[in-house]
Amino acid sequence: MARVEIGSPVTGTVWKVERAVGDAVQEGDVIMILESMKMEIPVEATEDGVVAELTVAPGDSVEDDQILCVVES
Amino acid sequence: MSEYDDTAVQTAPVEGASAADTANHPFPELAFRRAESLKMGGEQAIERQHQNGRLTVRERIQKLTDPGSFREVGTLAGTGTYDAQNRLVSVTPAPYVAGLARIDGRPVALGGEDFTVRGGTTFGSTRRKGGQGGFIEDLAHHYRIPLVNLIDGAGGSVTSIKRRGHSVFPGVHGFERSVELLGEVPVVSAVLGTAAGGPAGRAILSHFSVMVRGTSQIFAAGPPVVKRSLGQTIDKNDLGGAKVAVDTAGTIHNSAGSEEEAFEQIRRFLSYMPSNVWELPPVVETADPVDRCDEKLATIVPEKRTQAYSMHRLVQMVIDRDSGFEIRPTYGKSVITMLARMGGRPVGIIANNPMVYGGAMDVHSARKQIHFMELCDTFHIPLIFFVDVPGFMVGLKAEQEGTLREGMRAVTVAGKLKVPTITLVIRKCYGMAGMATCNKNDIDLKLAWPSAEWGSLPVEGGVAAAFRKEIQAAADPVAREREIEAELKPYASPFRTAEAFAVEEIIDPRETRPVLCEFIALAEKRLQADVGLKPRYGVQP
């Protein structure tokens, strides 16, 4: 099992978290949506697996590269 | 490090000559001296190099270039030790290995410091083998072939002052040839160890540079100097590892996970480049049909304007399959710069990335775009802009970084482009950052998708400023602002602009590849007419 950490592409805020820990995801599925510069930025699973960890919640401020979630594949 | 054990040191025409068989050689001294040079800094030093996770310079040359293609020059340069009768005992080779080799069948001049000999410090010969002003630079310049620097050294050493009896003025071995080469032939540098001083400067004067994450560092000066100058204690990886030098500062363009991957990136980069500016870049066969229309392009841009999408995926659907090679993927991420192929012909892709700050141009993405435009313009690689730019980045941090100045430098460089250029607006094209996506010296072909919108600034926000008095005077200012916005909105339709021929064509997103491939193929005759040096005049803002 490989643990893949998914980092934030931008500095912004977490707007919506679409998936919960334990959910199966496929590459390209949207796990959460961030908001930055008035744009909605989808955060996608980078491979097939299961959401093992969510390290942020809606409303949280996030930095560029900050780990948002972990997918186990 | 057993993975290196079986890597026989190769390359000199007399291979693996040992002391035993040099005696039977028709030219025993030549054979002996060649054998000495292959020993580099000796077994212990080689072992240490491997323990540090690094290859020796000879292994690097072997792994980078076509098998058996290395023709060494300066094999015998070094420091001889002679006995009381002035007979040769041994030779410590010069800490630089240089010569000619082939990459994908094409000749390149290359060389690198040998860290196993005196840490790759400068060799005190009158004529240098490599580095700035070295033989390999002359080889690349006079024979118009790409130059590859395999950098693993810290430059001059203070110890030379005693030997020489005086200190040297900066620029005795100056960068004038290195600078000249930037307009003539592709120059690539790999930082494969700790680079400071001259070698670090040499790495920057390149069209493409790459370093290895974890085992290489680059800085103006290393931790001891920082400690003495500023009293700060910092680890060399924290100071000049890839996280700082590539991701944050853009000092080096790309990072690689291993030396082998760095060599793969160098080969990949050169595959798009002509050997020099007097030639056109190489065209290859492609199995990907030029009239391929990807249905997914019709739906990739979300209808909701504030929803981002993957520009990377969009570009991949348009270019020849797997032909993309991203330059600086981790720096200035609000713009994507990528070498790719369309119908087998090299193209430079500049695509704004809506996922990062909505694609706004900040100081880093401006700098990244400037370098990439100049690279493609120099080597006759047509440019395609995939535009989704809301403007320059705003805010105090952006102003402190000089975004406006760097952004206008991008506009200036775009204004001097000579290479054929196509502008394709995917979504937003606003303001001065939008101007940096066009080439007015070319046919200025502006294509757009139906999702496109443009202007000096978006209607929202723009209305509040332009109609301030009218809005303030209204009984319900908020309602009046909305009203004016709604009134102006229909004019923002791209079709109105096309109707006025103020944008040349709106295309079905699915037709993107066939349309672009046709214009890129058409550009060939123009490119052919424009080969050669491109002098640059004037002052950059």
What is the tens place of the pLDDT at every residue in B452-509? Answer: 999 877 777 778 888 889 898 999 998 998 899 888 888 889 999 999 999 999 999 9
Sheet with A30-36, edge to edge strand ranges: A39-44, A30-36, A12-17, A61-62
Above 70 in pLDDT, residue B422? yes
More confident residue, B335 or A36: B335
Confidence tier at B6 by pLDDT (50, 70, 90): very low
Above 80 in pLDDT, residue B364? yes
- Report residue B31 as tokens: 């054979």
* Measured distance CA(A50)–CA(A71) in Å, rounded: 5
Tell me, what amino acid is at B347? V
What is the tens place of the pLDDT at every residue in B176-230? Answer: 999 999 999 999 999 999 999 889 999 999 999 999 999 999 999 999 999 999 9
What is the per-residue pLDDT for B121? Answer: 82
> What is the chain B residue with the closest CA to A40?
B307
C-beta pairs of B454-457 under 8 Å, 24+ apart in sequence: B454/B425, B454/B428, B454/B429, B454/B430, B454/B494, B454/B497, B454/B503, B455/B430, B455/B492, B456/B430, B456/B431, B457/B391, B457/B430, B457/B431
What is the per-residue pLDDT for B13? Answer: 44
* Measured distance CA(B364)–CA(B284) in Å, rounded: 33
CATH superfamily of the domain spanning B55-71+94-271: 2-enoyl-CoA Hydratase; Chain A, domain 1 (3.90.226.10)
- Report residue A60 as tokens: 């949280």
Could you say which architecture CATH assigns to the domain B295-452+503-529? Alpha-Beta Complex (3.90)
Comparing B2-6, B216-220, B537-541, the range with the smallest average pLDDT is B2-6
What is the per-residue pLDDT for B21? Answer: 66
Domain that holds residue A63: 3-72
Cβ of residue A10 closer than 8 Å to a chain B Cβ: yes
- The structure's pTM equals 0.91
End-to-end CA distance of chain B: 51
* Measured distance CA(B231)–CA(B225) in Å, rounded: 9
Relative to beta strand A49-54, strand A67-72 is: antiparallel
Q: Chain A residues with CB inside 8 Å of B310's CB?
A: 44
Relative to beta strand B345-352, strand B383-389 is: parallel
CATH number at residue A19: 2.40.50.100
**The CA-based dihedral angle spanning residues B402, B405, B409, B410, taken in that order and rounded to the nearest 10 degrees:** 60
Above 70 in pLDDT, residue B36? yes
Confidence tier at B20 by pLDDT (50, 70, 90): low
Domain ranges of chain B: 55-71+94-271, 295-452+503-529
Whole-number average pLDDT of chain B: 92
Across the range B287-315, mean pLDDT stands at 95
How many structural domains compose chain A?
1
Contact: A40, B333; criterion CB under 8 Å: no
What is the tens place of the pLDDT at every residue in A27-71? Answer: 989 999 999 877 899 999 999 999 999 999 999 999 888 999 999
Tell me, what amino acid is at B213? R
What is the tens place of the pLDDT at every residue in B501-533? Answer: 999 999 999 999 999 999 999 999 999 999 999
What is the per-residue pLDDT for B19? Answer: 54
Contact: B360, A37; criterion CB under 8 Å: yes
Interface residue of B356, B427, B428 to substitute, partner A, most A CBs within 10 Å: B356
Interface residue of A37, A46, A62 to substitute, partner B, most B CBs within 10 Å: A37
Interface residue of A8, A10, A29, A62 to substitute, partner B, most B CBs within 10 Å: A10
Confidence tier at B7 by pLDDT (50, 70, 90): very low
This complex has an ipTM of 0.78
What is the per-residue pLDDT for B18? Answer: 56
What is the per-residue pLDDT for B9? Answer: 39
Above 80 in pLDDT, residue B427? yes
What is the per-residue pLDDT for B11? Answer: 38
Q: In terms of Cα–Cα distance, which of B104, B108, B100, B98 is closest to B66?
A: B104
Across the range B102-126, mean pLDDT stands at 91
Tell me, what amino acid is at A17? V
What is the tens place of the pLDDT at every residue in B399-410? Answer: 999 999 999 999
Cβ of residue B39 closer than 8 Å to a chain A Cβ: no
> Do the domains B295-452+503-529 and B55-71+94-271 match in fold?
yes
DSSP symbols for A22-39: T-EE-TT-EEEEEEETTE
Residue ranges of alpha helices (H) inside chain A are none
What is the per-residue pLDDT for B450? Answer: 97
Question: Between B304, B333, B358, which is nearest A37 by CB?
Answer: B358
